[in-house]
Amino acid sequence: MSVKITGLDPLYRKLGNLAATKMLEPPMARAVYRLQAAMQVYPPAPAGSSYTRGGTYGRRWTVKINRGSNGLTGIVGTNVPYAPYVGSRMFQTAQHRATGWQTDAGAVQANEGAITADFQSAIDRALAS
């Protein structure tokens, strides 16, 4: 899943690659933490369920920001082996879908507007100064 930020050319022309990339790091950090938080949410337990959740799925989400020649890439992930069956749009089981577990695609869709608005605000401020 990805959120593509457009309109970066004027920013890179004005600030240069290094300064522009550095200026985009705070909104990127907020974006990955926003998505991480969305994926960590547990839906209510099904009525009558006796299963006790251990919380591993929620605790083991991580974020990383890679800086490269093409700018920044934010990565949200987990090393929980069963995570795709719980939270992947492609692999989520029917049981997890029926009980309301968030998917990666759902988290991106729900947060894309706020993420792009945050980046746009940072870009606008940098271009106005």
Show pLDDT as tens, one digit a residue, over the chain (129 residues): 888 898 899 999 999 999 999 999 999 999 999 999 999 999 999 889 898 999 999 999 999 999 987 789 999 999 999 999 999 999 999 999 999 999 999 999 999 999 999 999 999 999 998
Q: What integer pLDDT is reported at residue 72 of this predicted model?
A: 92
pLDDT at 38: 98
Q: What is the pLDDT of residue 6?
A: 87
pTM value surpassing 0.75: yes
pLDDT value for 65: 97
Burial of 92 (0-12, 13-18, 19+ CB in 10 A): buried
Question: CB of 64 within 8 A of CB of 71?
Answer: no
SS3 14: helix
Query: Any residues with CB less than 8 A from the CB of 76 and at least 6 apart, and which?
Result: 32, 35, 36, 39, 61, 62, 63
Domain boundaries, the chain: 9-41+55-128
pLDDT at residue 43, rounded to an integer: 96
